[in-house]
Copies of this chain bind each other. A is one copy, B any other.
Amino acid sequence: MSAAATAGPLAEPPAARRRAEKNRTRERILDAAVVAFAEQGYEGTSLATVAQSVGLSQPGVLHHFRSKRGLLMAVLERRDQIDRIRFGMDSVDGRDVLDHLADLMTHNATVPGMVQSFSVLTGESAAENHTAHDHFTRRYAGLRSHFAKMLTGAQERGEIRPEADCAAAATEIIAMMDGLQLQWLHAPQEVDMVTVFRSFLDRLRADPNET
């Protein structure tokens, strides 16, 4: 019999399990932070409100993230990881790239809290002094280059108008998504961002009657 088994039900849980528990708390804090940033923005959010919504004290939150800035960075990094999975898969299979983009917008329409959180953070980060300014600058540059590559491939397959400039189109598509989300967040029942986005994409699409 191992030492742990001998110790009985009062024994310390194994290290692996304790680590998992800690990570679960971390995740709960991150989720709460996303909600708080959506409702108040980063500057408008206090660690105390995040702490309260996960049932911890304010120093309890700072045990998991060394500072408020650290919490924001963790939120942004986790989002980038999810993006890498989602966007990475988009370019693999054989479906129409523009349909994929429309699907992405359709998905976004089902998670308004996420969209609101990152729209507010993106706007705040336009201020050069903002903690997340550089992060969003890098994010935009990465998105533009990834989208441009995807669109070039689609153009070679005849999915996109042959005269289109794919780098410019990448910038346009990202701008349209961000801008539509802003209007949708301000008037969800008035702005049908999925339909408008589709009609925008359709003007980029190659005419099926040609070639």
Are A183 and B187 in contact, with the CB atoms below 8 A?
no
A87 contacts partner chain B, Cβ-Cβ < 8 Å: no
State the interface size on chain A (CB cutoff 8 A).
49
Which A residues form the contact surface with B (CB < 8 A)? 38-41, 43-44, 116, 119-130, 133, 136-137, 140-141, 144, 165, 168, 171-172, 174-180, 182-183, 185-187, 190-191, 195-196, 199-200, 203-204
A129 contact set on B, CB distance < 8 A = 39-40
User: B126, B175, B185, B187: which contacts A116 (Cβ < 8 A)?
Assistant: B126
In the assembled complex, the Cα of A121 lies from the Cα of B174 at a distance in Å of 20
Are A196 and B168 in contact, with the CB atoms below 8 A?
yes
In the assembled complex, the Cα of A176 lies from the Cα of B200 at a distance in Å of 10
Where chain A touches its partner, the secondary structure class is helix
Are A175 and B176 in contact, with the CB atoms below 8 A?
yes
In the assembled complex, the Cα of A165 lies from the Cα of B200 at a distance in Å of 11
Are B128 and A120 in contact, with the CB atoms below 8 A?
no
Are A196 and B179 in contact, with the CB atoms below 8 A?
no
A175 contact set on B, CB distance < 8 A = 175-176, 178-180, 182-183, 196
User: B120, B140, B176, B195: which contacts A123 (Cβ < 8 A)?
Assistant: B120
A43 contact set on B, CB distance < 8 A = 40-41, 43-44, 124
Closest B residue to A177 by CB, please name it: B179
A187 contact set on B, CB distance < 8 A = 137, 140-141
Closest B residue to A44 by CB, please name it: B43
Shortest distance between the CB of A136 and any CB in chain B (Å)? 6
Are A176 and B183 in contact, with the CB atoms below 8 A?
no
Q: A124-B124, A125-B186 are in contact. List 6 more A-B contacts (CB 8 A).
A: A40-B43, A116-B127, A123-B126, A140-B186, A140-B187, A179-B180
- The contact sample of 20 A-B pairs, CB cut-off 8 A, is A39-B127, A40-B130, A41-B127, A43-B43, A44-B124, A116-B126, A120-B123, A120-B124, A120-B127, A121-B123, A123-B182, A124-B124, A144-B183, A171-B183, A171-B191, A172-B176, A172-B199, A177-B179, A178-B183, A179-B179
